[in-house]
Amino acid sequence: MTPKFPIARGRRLRRTTAIRKMVQETKLAPDDFILPLFVCPGNKVRTEVGSMPGVYRLSVDELVKEAKEAEKLGVGGVMLFGLPPSKDEAGSGAWAEDGIVQQGFRALKQETKNLVLFADTCLCEYTSHGHCGVIERRKDGGRDIVDVQNDPTLAILAKTAVSQAKSGADVIAPSDMMDGRVGAIRAALDEHGFAHVPILSYAAKYASAFYGPFRDAADSAPEAGSDRRAYQMDPANAREALREIELDLAEGADAIMVKPALSYLDIIAKARERFDVPIAAYHVSGEYAAIMAAAKNGWLDRDRAMMEALISIRRAGADWILTYFAKEASKLL
């Protein structure tokens, strides 16, 4: 006898945990994750970032401990961000042979075996003005204007990439959003014997409000009266992101990134449909902090919200997810 209200096929396939797991369309694994880490001078330094509970500024010795724990959990890689002992207008700490990130890569290369080491290649962490490139100051009707100079920045980014590769970085990831940076970096890496080192380009990086906690962690906010909207992307634009990705791939990028992730799932999905290359997405500091703050107040379940956010990024088409939740998510998986 046919039931009056037949149980839908989907309902039957959701009945038990074991069945749900078998029919799950999108899966996460620890090696999908890249853990961002902040490295600073000193010894035995482990200072929690106020706006990012559970995230720390780490001296090199503590960085090694954190990375080895991530490696043990099966996390795919780590990306280093530097807090230099001093900053200047040129951001010279970015390419210094004894720079803090360079020290970190050398230590990780010796102490880890299976982690992929990603280098964030940018100047904002090292410049006194907090911008991602060389700046020019000028007056406009009595106003002080800060202009980031695209072409003069390219040589510095290329120099920084070579320095990072020399110190042990496995992947160079330029995040500055200067036009032509991928081509300049690819040429410099090839010239210095690093043709084997791939480039993961932050190809679609938006001028987002969700970067605030990161800027606290890295002390990298642009100086008062200026921002990065002249070179980072307008959140209103989607087609432009695809053009930026196409240009970076034409210049030699091996993989691309969309940043942030949750507010730009549509961009990830559009990129996945159009480009047959690895796609990374950065689950950024503000997205992390929002979940942590809500969980602290008892407004949501941290672990469920964390995993739902990460699976949505994967479902949209990302192959790799940069996330401060990499260790916690890997423990659950």
Q: 162 with 192: CB under 8 angstroms?
A: yes
Long-range own/partner contacts, residues 302-311 (CB < 8 A, 24 or more apart): 303/328, 303/332, 307/28, 307/332, 309/262, 309/283, 310/28, 310/283, 311/26, 311/28
Burial 314-326 (b: 16+ CB within 10 A, else e): bebbbebbbbbbb
Point out the catalytic residue in the list 259, 270, 296, 331. 259
What type of residue sits at position 323? T
> Among all chains, which residue has been given the structure tokens 């160079």?
172
Helix residue spans in the chain (DSSP H): 9-12, 17-23, 60-72, 100-111, 150-167, 181-191, 212-218, 239-251, 265-274, 285-296, 302-316, 326-332
What CA–CA distance (Å, rounded) separates 10 from 189? 51
Point out the catalytic residue in the list 68, 72, 159, 205. 205
What CA–CA distance (Å, rounded) separates 173 from 256? 9
Q: 176 with 184: CB under 8 angstroms?
A: no
Q: 329 with 312: CB under 8 angstroms?
A: no
Tell me the backbone φ, ψ of residue 174, rounded to 5 degrees. Answer: -70, 130
What CA–CA distance (Å, rounded) separates 231 from 203? 12
Tell me the backbone φ, ψ of residue 86, rounded to 5 degrees. Answer: -150, 160
Active site annotation includes 205:
yes
Q: 34 with 118: CB under 8 angstroms?
A: yes
Q: 233 with 207: CB under 8 angstroms?
A: yes
Q: Which residues are known catalytic residues?
A: 205, 259
